[in-house]
Structure 1
């Protein structure tokens, strides 16, 4: 995983260098397990992309889910409405595995920032963002949280803090998978994927998180050393009749040496 930036240092950097900040945030939506809001930073780039985060603050003992929470969870979702924003895409820091006694699932047991990339209709100016967000917050049971969040680019009282928060969230994402640190499919059948992990030399342990998309669903990967290599057997719960289009199945591979994310080809 990329190193987390220290917030005070980011505050100083944002204050002393670069163009003026144009960060903004929505109001908080408060629920039983915590609260959520959207924070955006700076202006859109030449392609109309604006960076932001979904800030999830959890109360002690509460948890929330990764992009694929398993067979009974609620994955984070965001939808945008209105003519100024075309789409919004979430990214995810490395999760951890949890067992609540009923099922195993991937997620976060403390407050977390989920980076968002907004694609704006206008490339050269900030936009009002109206988003519908749904996440799950869990203590003993999971509570779906629905929120209508609006970010007004002309209203911000903590621009430097918001700018630093977005940079910090992006820095905390897993690095892109590379030939020395990645996962690949070794074999595939109708009921099992065998995924081989390539790890840095100093890595002592690893865990694979595989997201089911496009009609695929998977149970928890099980690590099994084989011929000096680390492989994961992934039970296939469901698969589509035909391979979908797209990049493939999103995965995150975590280890004692950090974390990476990438895509496995559809089997």
Structure 2
């Protein structure tokens, strides 16, 4: 799978050179939103995709392209992206995580000039996929008004679709067992949580972006959800796993849960 990840951008680039752009496939805009009581601003990136196309979540899987955000150039200190619960796609024997049709990504913006209108400007590199997966860049800009503006229903709905926290979902304990594998490390997470309907899917991330995580296998064993995966360093080097930095997202019918850190 590491080979596939390395070759994917090379497969995509010639397609872009031939096609000359995909602005007709994805439309991007900033929804200006509203000012929060503490001085932060709630806005959103709104992506609309042509029929049959999809884009990717923050951890897109081996078949996807992770989004990269550059918010420099505006009048902001920081921009925090909130991710609505994604969908799981299976195509050609590979799994990807993302969105189809359209997606609203809420943005909590920390401003430099409190009490004033502020400019938010972004350059976002995303992956879009239909029969092949392609990198695409969008540029967005908007003025965030300091006064007026009621909560945007589309942003509010997207915030309501953000995965539940572990506490909200009734997760009681998360035990992570680490072992040695033939190509790095193995990880088995035992999650004590209420059983949901449908077959569960899990996504496992680590705090180190240089650690590659294989697609997990997930199953219910009694009252526990068991998720197993393999980890290895991109450079083939030895590494230590910080259990507190492990992030597990559980995706099942009708709900998603964001679990941060292992208990042990």
- For the criterion TM > 0.5, the same-fold answer is yes
Counterpart among 136, 141, 158 of residue 169 in structure 1: 158
Q: For residue 65 of structure 1, what is the aligned residue in structure 2?
A: 56
When the two chains are superposed, the root-mean-square deviation of aligned CA atoms in Å is: 3.2
- Gaps spanning 5+ residues in structure 1: where? 1-28
Paired residues for 1:149-228 under 5 Å? 149-153=140-144, 163-178=152-167, 180-181=170-171, 184-190=174-180, 191-200=185-194, 203=197, 205-214=199-208, 215-226=210-221
Is 1:249 the equivalent of 2:256? Answer: no
What's the TM-score once normalised by structure 2's chain length?
A: 0.75
Shift in Å, 1:136: 0.9
Output the CA distance in 2 between the equivalents of 1:202 and 1:133.
35
Contact 2:58 2:67 in 1 (8 A): yes
Kindly report structure 1 stretches of 4+ aligned residues shifted beyond 6 Å: 244-247
Output the CA distance in 1 between the equivalents of 2:136 and 2:125.
5
* Partner secondary structure for residue 93 of structure 1: coil
What's the TM-score once normalised by structure 1's chain length?
A: 0.75
Relative to structure 1, is the Cα distance of residues 237 and 245 closer, same or farther in structure 2, using a 3 angstrom cutoff?
A: closer
Paired residues for 1:110-121 under 5 Å? 110-121=101-112
Instruction: Show CA shifts across 1:171-221 (max 9, x none).
Output: 111121127237724301242111123332564542212234422221111
Output the CA distance in 2 between the equivalents of 1:43 and 1:257.
31
Contact 1:195 1:231 in 2 (8 A): yes
Relative to structure 1, is the Cα distance of residues 53 and 182 closer, same or farther in structure 2, using a 3 angstrom cutoff?
A: farther
**RCO higher in structure (CA 8 A, sep ≥6):** 1
Contact 2:175 2:263 in 1 (8 A): no
Instruction: Show CA shifts across 1:213-256 (max 9, x none).
Output: 42222111102344653301112143775558896233321234
Paired residues for 1:20-31 under 5 Å? 31=23
* Partner secondary structure for residue 152 of structure 1: strand
Output the CA distance in 2 between the equivalents of 1:183 and 1:78.
33
Relative to structure 1, is the Cα distance of residues 266 and 180 closer, same or farther in structure 2, using a 3 angstrom cutoff?
A: closer
Relative to structure 1, is the Cα distance of residues 256 and 182 closer, same or farther in structure 2, using a 3 angstrom cutoff?
A: farther
Output the CA distance in 2 between the equivalents of 1:142 and 1:64.
9
Counterpart among 60, 64, 68 of residue 77 in structure 1: 68
Output the CA distance in 1 between the equivalents of 2:251 and 2:51.
25
Shift in Å, 1:34: 2.1
Contact 2:74 2:121 in 1 (8 A): no
**What is the count of residue pairs matched by the alignment?**
234
Output the CA distance in 2 between the equivalents of 1:124 and 1:244.
43
Output the CA distance in 2 between the equivalents of 1:254 and 1:99.
14
